[in-house]
Structure 1
């Protein structure tokens, strides 16, 4: 277990670990010194004195071992153990885009399996997996909007954030498509990319909010951002249980709003039906003008020295307490 930890841990100063080899030498020298001291002393004692001092004799080696362990912990701490996270460096071309997901209550309707929200998440994750060189961010909205991730090339982080989305992620009830779009626009408005895109995944049911879809659409046009809308839903009639017995109801779905947003911003509208729909989305966005993208390589480190420093201090305190109390030598 200890060997595996050393193999899996990166050290800033690994050469300091060589000092650990001195610890067995110190132990050997200590016990040789003790043997010499014992041989040179003529002990005159009685059986009663031996019996009364036996527990102290048993504790005599403890401070030495505490000091050895503390020294070992300090050596490891000085070598600076850490976990490293490496980002690779690549050059290419890409687009800056934001995935804008509706997580309102209407997205829990089950005309998609298992429901609209899970279908939208699957669409979004499939889309992220299909991209290469693009910078992608994620915004979610119900009655309010929230940025899950800024635009980034770290697709693993984007996929992880999308997978954790649920309908209760934002406490506010309602659907504010305009607010979701406005937040997405804010993520892209300072981008210098040649093509900036928002992919809006929703059922198109809008219930107010501080910013209307029309105003948000105008904002997107002002900043040269194209909005591709993907309709998640249908107007199917489904069985519904009510207090009076089993009835039916028609599901809410508003594709016209989504078509209008896409048309005015130069994007396109798609009805999420199957994988062929996704292929069309990929192809359309793939035709947009791309910017040169340079992904810089860097290492991030998570320091692990503190537990060893704390352990060393704790061991030295225990050693000091023992030496000044039960093992104290009186003149």
Structure 2
């Protein structure tokens, strides 16, 4: 739908009928004066009246259209073009807790996740900005939101697991905050975790509300295997298992308009990321067309000039 940035300028269109009325009023006065001054002159003028009157009407129409185009152009109209999209702010929130070192994925869960994230970053639209957040016992920024995808890829490569627990709420809150740091764009977070929230200062519910208030769409990916996986042992030599909290991840995706995906190995994880670019709905960009109305106004003015002073001009 067409819109205007400065619609108050459209009030200038009210001048068009006033100018039309003024023209005809002035024309009547001029003809009356001509009759009083010289009936002979008026008779001669009447003989040429048809052609002259037609040109006057054309010139009047061109002048009024030119004025109208100027006021419409000053209102700065814009239209959404179907094939022109704004870029999106895409933030990857990666779980780097100890369980992400489990070897059921090759080379491990974190390595497979990094490879899949890198693949998606390379396939994003040129206009998209990218950032990376990591979380374990807390959350931190690994790569700030930027259009420089090569820089982000270099930062992604250097990410290593810090062990510890899983703070999904902290990771989501920081990712959502980074997503809205550059306004006027679609805000998307892609959160990957293989555990349950058992650390941090912000609960997943609080982070979800934070993301919703700021219009952030969250896609979640649960990393797991068909069977329980041991990733480490505690101080008493008891095995530690990665426990995926699917309900939390599903709730986050459902409440923010995203999608939850379940990965069971590196190939399914790669497939999930390869399809995510198509799931990100980018907003249609409003394209200004004020120049078109100023161009039309110029054409009207030049056409009137040529009619008035051109080779066949008689006015």
Cα distance, 1:241 vs structure 2: 9.4
Instruction: Give the alignment partner of residue 274 of structure 2, picking from 268, 272, 279.
Output: 279
TM-score normalised per structure 1 = 0.54
Cα distance, 1:274 vs structure 2: 4.6
Aligned to 2:92: 99
C-alpha separation between the residues in 2 aligned to 1:125 and 1:222?
29
- 1:142-184 deviation line (CA, Å, top 9, x unaligned): 111111222111011110011111113xxx7221111111111
Cα distance, 1:275 vs structure 2: 3.8
C-alpha separation between the residues in 1 aligned to 2:102 and 2:256?
28
Contact 2:231 2:240 (C-alpha < 8 Å) held by counterparts: yes
Instruction: Give the alignment partner of residue 288 of structure 1, picking from 278, 282, 293.
Output: 282
Aligned to 2:103: 110
Contact 2:90 2:189 (C-alpha < 8 Å) held by counterparts: yes
Aligned to 2:135: 141
C-alpha separation between the residues in 2 aligned to 1:93 and 1:241?
45
Contact 2:117 2:273 (C-alpha < 8 Å) held by counterparts: no
C-alpha separation between the residues in 2 aligned to 1:141 and 1:250?
19
- 1:23-81 deviation line (CA, Å, top 9, x unaligned): xxxxxxxxxxxxxxxxxxxxxxxxxxxxxxxxxxxxxxxxxxxxxxxxxxxxxxxxxxx
Return 5+ residue gaps in structure 1 as ranges.
1-90, 294-331
- Alignment partner of 1:261: what SS? helix
- Alignment partner of 1:140: what SS? strand
C-alpha separation between the residues in 1 aligned to 2:273 and 2:262?
9
C-alpha separation between the residues in 2 aligned to 1:238 and 1:204?
12
Q: Does 1:224 align with 2:215?
A: yes
Return 5+ residue gaps in structure 2 as ranges.
1-83, 288-315
Cα distance, 1:188 vs structure 2: 2.4
Deviates more, 1:202-211 or 1:258-267: 202-211
Aligned to 2:51: none
C-alpha separation between the residues in 2 aligned to 1:141 and 1:209?
9
Cα distance, 1:253 vs structure 2: 1.7
Aligned to 2:121: 128
C-alpha separation between the residues in 2 aligned to 1:218 and 1:158?
28
Contact 1:100 1:139 (C-alpha < 8 Å) held by counterparts: yes
- 1:185-240 deviation line (CA, Å, top 9, x unaligned): 22123432341001101114211310000100010000000111112222513579
CA RMSD of aligned residues (A): 2.8
Distance 1:129 1:292, change over 3 A: farther
Q: Does 1:189 align with 2:210?
A: no
Aligned to 1:236: 227
- 1:267-325 deviation line (CA, Å, top 9, x unaligned): 1111231543223322111x3325589xxxxxxxxxxxxxxxxxxxxxxxxxxxxxxxx
Structure 2 counterparts to residues 149-188 of structure 1, below 5 A: 149-168=143-162, 173-188=164-179
C-alpha separation between the residues in 2 aligned to 1:135 and 1:226?
15
Aligned to 1:252: 243
Cα distance, 1:252 vs structure 2: 1.8
Cα distance, 1:125 vs structure 2: 0.6
How many aligned positions are there?
A: 197
C-alpha separation between the residues in 1 aligned to 2:230 and 2:142?
35
